[in-house]
């Protein structure tokens, strides 16, 4: 699991080196419990890749005490390369008058280059 501090360090390294390019991968998302995965992308990083995206709750959604996403990365043969779990901030999923369309983000680091990744699933 990756911490917020290491994510920021990785992101600043990406921006500084100009390596902010997305891979051509098939991305499968699965939404359940009134929560929709609205975006997913693979971004090249030093020593691997970041799988990033966002989630959006439907009307009436009640966030569990520890919301999280499961990110699975596959190679071209359909073999699982790695599985990661990223915790999502529960407060980011709460609707209020200040945040009528809340969105939460997720980030998972995988030790594979985007060229080795053919498909990503987020559940």
Low-confidence ranges of the chain (pLDDT < 50): 1, 5-23
Among 45, 54, 41, 52, which Cα is nearest to 111's? 45
Among 68, 64, 62, 57, which Cα is nearest to 123's? 68
pLDDT tens per residue across span 77-101: 999 999 999 988 888 877 776 777 7
Q: Per DSSP, which regions of the chain are E strands?
A: 26-29, 35-45, 48-57, 68-74, 80-87, 104-110, 119-122
Q: What is the pLDDT of residue 27?
A: 61
* Residue 22 in tokens: 């997305």
In this prediction the pTM is: 0.71
Q: What is the pLDDT of residue 32?
A: 61
Q: What is the pLDDT of residue 85?
A: 92
Sorted by where each starts, the structural domains of the chain and their CATH numbers stand as 4-122 (2.60.40)
Neighbouring C-beta atoms of residue 107, cutoff 10 Å: 19
Cα 123 from Cα 115, distance rounded (Å): 22
């Amino acid at each position: 699991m990756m911490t917020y501090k290491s994510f920021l360090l990785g992101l600043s390294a990406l921006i500084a080196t100009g390596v902010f390019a997305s891979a051509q991968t098939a991305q499968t998302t699965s939404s359940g419990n009134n929560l929709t995965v609205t975006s997913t992308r693979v971004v090249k990083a030093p020593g691997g890749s970041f799988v990033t995206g966002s989630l959006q709750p439907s009307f009436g959604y009640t966030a569990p005490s520890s919301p999280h996403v499961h990110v699975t990365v596959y190679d071209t043969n359909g073999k699982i390369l790695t599985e990661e779990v990223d915790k999502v901030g529960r407060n980011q999923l709460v609707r209020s008058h200040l945040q009528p369309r809340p969105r939460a983000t997720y980030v998972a680091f995988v030790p594979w280059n985007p060229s080795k990744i053919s498909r990503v699933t987020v559940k």
